[in-house]
Structure 1
Amino acid sequence: MKLSLKQWIQVAISLIVAVWIFWFLYKDISLDSLLKAVSETSFLLIGISVLVSLLGFWLRSWRWALLIDADQSYKTPTSRTFWALMIGYLTNMLVPRAGEFARCGVLAKTDGLQMGKLFGTVILERTVDLLFLVFTIFLAFVIERNLFLELFSELVSLETLVKKVTQYLPLLIGGLLVMAIFFYFAFLKYRERNIFRKLRHFTRDLVKGIISIRQVRNQSGFWGSSFAIWMIYYVTLVLVAWAIPSTANLSLSSLLMVMVMGSIGMVAPVQGGIGTFHALVAFILIAYGLSESDGKIFAVIVHSSQVLTIVVLGLVSLGIVFKITGKKVSKSS
């Protein structure tokens, strides 16, 4: 994927922000305390957590294949979606949000599928994940309601928030209407241009991908795997918590809150959630009574185990995809 100068600048800025947040968090953590915590960590449980996360990656790949194959007789191999998914995760470590395009591009090359449709299925997949994230946040709120309200009141003034929304809502609505009118007339004027024809075709394929959920033949498999993916996220976090002495005694409900905060941290537009993940996970662990040092060390261990897994699998997947595309080129020449 080629990036423009502007995009490279955006990538550089997001990386600088991520590194700065990470440095600010860990500048007072000594290397000795980190090494001591690592030496006390159960690598058996860490290894099991990695294996469980691999199952989660495979389930996500299988669910994606269900969406892709919803309106066609061709069956996309789960192995192909797995390689594409891992390359997408690896790309996100370099360029935030580019992984979704990258994995679609990989599958378009290896299996000759339409890019627009693939991206539509990814949007749908992310929408389903967002619904599960919202449900998880709600569940954490119900279980840990007192802590949730206490933290929210410390971070956000509800009265100020309502006042700001009320103040700027008419301006926001007006701006959106002006933009809608502008794009409508621009479309009417230039709709026969080549770029708009390509855009219409892409949008048509995109809509096909988004509505493909209604055509998924294995509905129970789709929704069951979606639930299992989020359960696997939770189990992975619990195993890492059990592996580290300072977090081994945390309750299951408190670890659910940790997962919620970590998930929100991963949404931030920085490479692999670097910095934001660590900050939010450490913040919630400190609220549960852990020392600042222990909270930050837990965050770096759980994040590093996942990053190393993604890097290794991503590089392996790149090698396999290069081999597949190389064979296709040699056959066609």
Structure 2
Amino acid sequence: MNKKLTRILKIGIPLLLGIFLIWYSLGSSTPQERENLWQSILEANTAWIFVSFFLGALSHLSRAHRWKYMLEPMGYQSSLSNRFMAVMAAYLANFGIPRSGEVLRAVTLSTYEDVPFEKGFGTIISERVADLLILMLIVGIALLFQTDDLLGYLQSQNINPLYTFFIFLGLVGITVLGINIVRRSSWLPFKKLKTLAKGLLEGMKSILKMKQKWAFILHTVFIWCMYLLMFFVIKLSIPETAGTPLGTIMAAFVIGSFAVSATNGGIGVYPLAVAGILMFFGVEKHGAEAFGWISWATQTAVVLLFGGLSFIFLPLLNNRK
């Protein structure tokens, strides 16, 4: 299989899956259910949607600020504007090719701030580990709120969040093993990879060398609090979900967090997964689906706006580079 076809499949299959799920969801609904869904979306309180949008923007700004704490131990200084635009451009890139954003983010900082790609990418890997730990903490809290019901739902959908954690640990272990093999080998192609591996390790170790560890931890907590609040306030915009308990909202947040990576930007999968868990806990179908779609649309709007502007302004504001 040639590279062009592989690239097309990587982009096309998740996108087609998302479109199919949208078509299936709408096609399996009755005309009255579709009418109720559309009515719930139209009648949503836009003030709370704008609050959600603002909270989402704050989380991304905090992520960009947090990044400097990992770059400074390696001796690299960078502007907040470039880090923020790199983050937002990366999120937007994920809508085209899932998981391509991390690479683009490191490339952007390498281009405009002279941070070597392998070191920048290493810091991104480390911060993803920190984010995963926070997500696992939220999963644990959600389980405390809705242990029996949430586990029952996950089992009915053949979903086990711990698999994601163990798979990630396995990938980290394989990566470390591969790096050790490359480091000890005298084979010429592996020798050329040693510089890349060394830079990656230096970037990943930067999280242990930070002078402002508490600032990094506080920003990490703040980022995820904003994610959760961004999701939570959407419930206030829809009458059918306004009285939904916090435990149910956290359960829906957890499911959405795992579903978002299934397709390009979570299209199709995210709204249906969130709606599914809300309906499981007793929320009316049209209200649950409206919540899922409004939540996804708000998050997507943040990325489309700031990601699009980032692609425009990155070269304009750094024209000398």
1:197: how far off?
3.2
CA contact (8 A) 1:282 1:292 kept: yes
> Matches of residues 36-55 of structure 1 in structure 2 within 5 Å?
36-55=39-58
TM-score with structure 2 setting the length = 0.87
Partner of 2:283: 290
The alignment status of 1:71 with 2:65, answered yes or no, reads: no
| Shift in Å, 1:294 | 2.3
Question: Structure 1 84/192 Cα, relative in aligned 2: closer, same or farther at 3 Å?
Answer: same
**What is the rounded CA distance, in whole Å, between the counterparts of 1:218 and 1:323 in structure 2?**
32
Structure 1: distance between partners of 2:224 and 2:320: 36
Match of 1:148 in 2: 150
1:192 aligns with 2:184: no
Q: Distance in 2 between matches of 1:225 and 1:211?
A: 19
Deviates more, 1:125-134 or 1:20-29: 20-29
Q: Name the CA shift for 1:55/1:156 in 2 (closer, same or farther; >3 Å).
A: closer
How many residues were matched structurally?
A: 302
1:234 and 2:228 aligned: yes
Long gaps (5+) in structure 1: 159-172, 329-333
- Hey, what does 2:201 align to over in structure 1? 207
Aligned pair partner of 1:305 in 276, 281, 298? 298
Q: Structure 2 CA distance, aligned partners of 1:267 and 1:10?
A: 13
- Give runs of aligned pairs for residues 118-157 of structure 1, distance below 5 A: 118-156=120-158
Structure label with greater radius of gyration: 1
Q: Which amino acid aligns with 2:88?
A: M
Q: State the TM-score, normalized to the length of structure 1.
A: 0.84
Look up the match of 1:35: 38
Give the C-alpha shift of residue 78 in structure 1. 1.6
Measure, in 2, the Cα distance between the counterparts of 1:150 and 1:281: 15
Say which of 304, 317, 321 aligns to 1:324.
Answer: 317
1:225 equivalent to 2:225? Answer no
Counterpart-to-counterpart distance in 2, 1:259 and 1:79 = 29
SS at structure 1 position matched to 2:188? coil
Q: Is the 8 A contact 2:118 2:199 kept in 1?
A: yes
Which amino acid is 1:63 matched to? R
Q: How far apart, in 2, do the equivalents of 1:153 and 1:48 lie?
A: 34
Amino acid at match of 2:224: W
Task: Using the TM superposition, give the Cα deviation of residue 293 of structure 1 relative to its aligned residue in structure 2, in angstroms.
Answer: 2.7
Identity of counterpart residues, as a percentage?
A: 25
Q: Give me the whole-angstrom Cα distance separating, in 1, the residues matched to 2:157 and 2:51.
A: 36
Of 87, 91, 94, which aligns to 1:92?
Answer: 94
- Alpha-carbon RMSD: 2.6
| Structure 1 residue corresponding to 2:113, chosen from 111, 114, 137 | 111
Query: Which residue identity lines up with residue 306 of structure 1 in the other structure?
Result: Q
Alpha-carbon distance in 1 for matches of 2:105, 2:197: 18
Aligned-pair CA distance for 1:22 = 2.3
Gaps of 5+ in 2: 161-169
What is the SS of the residue equivalent to 1:91? helix
The 10-residue stretch of structure 1 (104-113 or 9-18) with the greater mean CA deviation from structure 2: 9-18
Q: Which one-letter code corresponds to 1:69 in the other structure? A: E
- Residues of 1 paired with 2:50 and 2:157: CA distance? 36
Question: What residue is the counterpart of 1:281 in the other structure?
Answer: 274
Distance 1:184 1:63 in 2: 32
Letter in 2 for 1:106: T
Counterpart for residue 10 of structure 1: 10
